[in-house]
Amino acid sequence: MGREKSCGAIVFKRLKDGIKYLLLHYEAGHWDFPKGNQEKNEKDEQTAAREIKEETGIEDIEFVDEFRETINYFYKKGEETIYKEVVFFLAQSASDKVTLSKEHIGYAWVSYEHAFKKLTFNNSKELLRKANQFLYKTSNI
């Protein structure tokens, strides 16, 4: 069985009317957060920052301390079963200008409620819920 590790982030920005989360529309049709495979010798945060830059063009991010969530799942790659681990961080963006990579067909900055409805996968919805709770609980809003 193969193993893969990816890192990504729940990217958000603060506006007068509250927090908006960045969702990406993937070519396969689903909505999710920026993420991608870790390269050799990269730290988890470096992977997440690189993937955010590659997928959205956003460089001015600030990771929120103490938020780190890992999700695990299996998927098929041809005949092989791959065990996938994805580490997610919470990253505040000062910019809302997005330049998409070729992997994506759209994006949206949306409120928590809209993001929750738009996200395709249940584990992503759960991540968003935890991130939103964390931001409110730590009074970072």
Entry pTM:
0.92
What pLDDT is stored for residue 90 in this prediction? 98
Q: What distance in Å separates the CA atoms of residue 96 and residue 34, rounded to the nearest whole number?
A: 14
Q: What distance in Å separates the CA atoms of residue 115 and residue 124, rounded to the nearest whole number?
A: 10
What pLDDT is stored for residue 139 in this prediction? 59
| pLDDT tens digit sequence for 29-61 | 999 999 999 999 999 999 999 999 999 999 999
Decide if 63 contacts 19 (C-beta within 8 A): no
Q: What distance in Å separates the CA atoms of residue 141 and residue 135, rounded to the nearest whole number?
A: 6
Question: Which positions ≥6 away from 81 have C-beta within 8 Å?
Answer: 1, 2, 74, 75
Q: What distance in Å separates the CA atoms of residue 112 and residue 17, rounded to the nearest whole number?
A: 12
Spans in the chain with pLDDT lower than 50: 140
Domain boundaries, the chain: 2-137
Instruction: State the pairing for strand pair 2-15/80-93.
Output: parallel
Any idea which fold 2-137 has? Nucleoside Triphosphate Pyrophosphohydrolase (3.90.79)
Question: Which positions ≥6 away from 53 have C-beta within 8 Å?
Answer: 59
Question: Which positions ≥6 away from 24 have C-beta within 8 Å?
Answer: 31, 32, 33, 34, 55, 56, 100, 104, 106, 107
What pLDDT is stored for residue 80 in this prediction? 96
